[in-house]
Structure 1
Amino acid sequence: MKKDILNALRKLWSSQSSSKWSLDNLAKGQCGVTSLVVQDILGGEIRKTFLKEGWHFYNVINGVRMDFTEEQFSYIIDYQDIDSNRTEAFHDTNDGQYSYLKSQVYKLLGKVES
Structure 2
Amino acid sequence: MQAFEEHLRSAWSAESSGKWSAENPASGQCSVTALVVQDLFGGEILKTETPAGSHFYNRIGGRRWDFTLSQFGRPILFDDTPSSRQEALADTTPAQYEALKARLGTSIP
Q: Smaller-chain TM-score range? A: over 0.9
Quote how far apart the aligned CAs of 1:112 are. 4.1
Match of 2:108 among 102, 106, 113: 113
Q: Which runs of 5+ in 2 are unaligned?
A: none
Q: Which runs of 4+ in 1 moved over 6 A?
A: none
Instruction: Count the aligned residue pairs.
Output: 109
Could you tell me whether the CA contact under 8 Å between 1:20 and 1:29 is conserved in 2?
yes
Cα RMSD after superposing both structures: 1.0
For the residues of structure 1 that align with 2:71 and 2:102, how far apart are their CA atoms?
23
For the residues of structure 1 that align with 2:57 and 2:102, how far apart are their CA atoms?
19
Quote how far apart the aligned CAs of 1:92 are. 1.4
Give the letter for the 1:84 counterpart: S
Look up the match of 1:37.
36
Could you tell me the percent identity over the aligned residues? 48
Could you tell me whether the CA contact under 8 Å between 1:103 and 1:113 is conserved in 2?
no
Could you tell me whether the CA contact under 8 Å between 1:17 and 1:33 is conserved in 2?
yes
Quote how far apart the aligned CAs of 1:77 are. 1.2
Look up the match of 2:27.
28
Q: Which runs of 5+ in 1 are unaligned?
A: none
Alignment of 1:26-105 (within 5 A): 26-105=25-104
Look up the match of 2:13.
14
